[in-house]
């Protein structure tokens, strides 16, 4: 007994399926990779701004949290203002820039104090913000 196909598959379909598969994978890759960019430092709620700067490679990151008592983190380690001054002075990074990620409720005087110290040490200072929604 000879069996025959009842469904005819066009030949051009075999060349289109891999193309659609590759396009789908590229779209998924770009959609997921842009959403999950990890930023080093402590988790803080940044103030919103409609302006954004390009990311800086090799910049030193200082995070300031606001709680009942504010905390300063440099390279994910809690430091005092005196320890921060010492570590910035000892830093041998070729990129002489500092990104300050301060919580939106952080006292302004503390942000200015840390900014002044970084400028005294010869760093350029960038204040981090989140995108305006």
Please check whether residue 16 lies inside any domain of the structure. no
- CATH (domain of 87): 3.30.420.270
pTM reported for the whole predicted model: 0.62
Whether 121 is covered by a domain: the verdict is: yes
Domain count, the chain: 1
Cβ-count burial of 114 within 10 angstroms (0-12 exposed, 13-18 middle, 19+ buried)?
buried
How many Å from the N-terminal Cα to the C-terminal Cα in the chain?
69
Express each pLDDT in 40-94 by its tens digit.
556 677 777 777 777 677 788 888 988 778 889 998 889 998 999 999 888 877 7
């Amino acid at each position: 007994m000879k069996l025959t196909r009842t469904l005819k598959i066009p030949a051009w379909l075999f060349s289109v399926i891999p193309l659609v598969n590759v396009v789908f994978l590229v779209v998924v890759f770009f959609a997921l990779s842009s959403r999950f960019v990890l930023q080093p430092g402590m988790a803080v709620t940044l103030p919103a701004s409609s302006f954004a700067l390009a990311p800086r490679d090799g910049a030193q990151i200082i995070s300031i949290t606001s709680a009942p008592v504010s905390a300063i983190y440099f390279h994910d380690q809690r430091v005092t203002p005196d320890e921060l001054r010492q570590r910035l002075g000892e830093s041998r990074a070729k990129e002489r820039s500092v990104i300050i990620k301060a919580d939106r409720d952080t006292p302004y005087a503390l942000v200015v104090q840390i900014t002044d110290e970084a400028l005294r040490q010869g760093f350029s200072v960038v204040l981090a913000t989140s995108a305006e929604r």
